[in-house]
Amino acid sequence: MSVKCEAFGRCGGCAYLNMDYKDQLKRKCHYVQGLFGGIKAEPVIGMSDPMHYRHKVYSSFGMDQKKHLVSGLYEESTHKLVQVKNCLIQNETANRIIRLVTDIASGMHIEAFDERTGRGVLRHLYIRVSHSTGKVLLVIIISSRDLPGSKTFIHRIIEENPEVESIVLNWNNYYTSLVLGRREKVLYGNGFIEDELLGLKFQISSRSFFQVNPVQTETLYKTALQLAEIDSSKNVLDACCGIGTISLSAAGLAKSVTGVEIVPEAIQDAKHNAEINHISNIKFICADAEQFLKENSDYFHIAVLDPPRAGFSEEFLRLLAKKKPERIVYISCEPATQARDTKQLRKNGYLISKIQPVDMFPFTKHVETVVLMSRVEGK
């Protein structure tokens, strides 16, 4: 199955859009296997329906040649806007809201921010759609001091989009590729939506990290937990725990779980998520993962790793190996740095037992990978 898109070849988001889906999965498996020096990788777990899977969506604003407000995506590695009215991998509710918000703003003569002149208002929209409820968190990012006609603007959005549960205004007047600025204000609702994952509830705010593909996230986490072989006698470390999605999923199986995350806001969300799910055999610590290992003397039977794309430092991996967990389950959205890090762990007493790719990002070059590493006795 290959599909056609009006922006294919220009926005750069879906490099494999003209390729049959089964061939995409084979190519990704071959890519992963090559990174790991030929160690066998399992076939990539794909989706039965790979369309419109992104429940976390960004859209940018610009003015066309006729000075009309338009929205779309930037060309890869540029700030050149490509108008996209119906992205084939973005959630359909999100697509519709982007179109309607653009029309409302255009009718109210609200202009897009112009990076060259520093004038204008609208920069981006950030939309999060709950997979379990269909409710929407909408973040409007502006560069100006205020949003003209904000009460009318918000009223019309809510009136025409009943799925919108909360609207946040975010200020970003920096010349940066970052979408969200540091300051924001809740204009409608409570500033978050709720979603469910593996039977647990999670509150998602504008700054919460929550996977973009909810269907495959369940597959990814089920795979990781199965490989970890957690039972009620095991203490689990979750490094780079974010808002606690994996930690809380593991807590129902484990004796105890410790989640470590350097971002304070994420730790606050994680603690709150533990409360609303009534989970008590878990603690969340705001700290750098490397520093935590240096200062903490607890023993963990199982370590779950889910770092940013950059992976881990050699010192973190050395300290982790020194702790001698029985199993390490390493989840990564960047298999290249994962392969580098697992090579370091292999030098420190661990063997790769399984490599399981999961297709979190159909039609793109990206793939998520779960690697199980087991400790070799005597090393």
Which residues carry out catalysis?
Answer: 333
Residue 282, judged by CB atoms within 10 A of its CB (0-12, 13-18, 19+), counts as buried
**Which tokens in the block code for residue 311?**
């992976």
Cα–Cα dist 339/36, whole Å: 6
- Helix (H) or strand (E) run with residue 165 in it: strand 164-171
Q: In this structure, are residues 139 and 184 in contact, taking their beta carbons and an 8 Å threshold?
A: yes
Distance, CA of 220 to chain centre: 13
Q: Minimal CA–CA distance to 56: which of 180, 233, 229, 236?
A: 180
List the beta bridge partners of residue 140. 125, 169
Q: Minimal CA–CA distance to 217: which of 241, 192, 233, 197?
A: 197
- Helix (H) or strand (E) run with residue 273 in it: helix 264-276
Q: How far is CA 323 from CA 145, 244, 314, 339, 372, in A?
A: 51, 22, 14, 21, 17
Helices (H), 77-117: 92-107
Half-sphere exposure of 162 (CA within 13 A, CB side): 0
Distance, CA of 171 to chain centre: 22
**Which tokens in the block code for residue 23?**
């061939």
DSSP 197: E
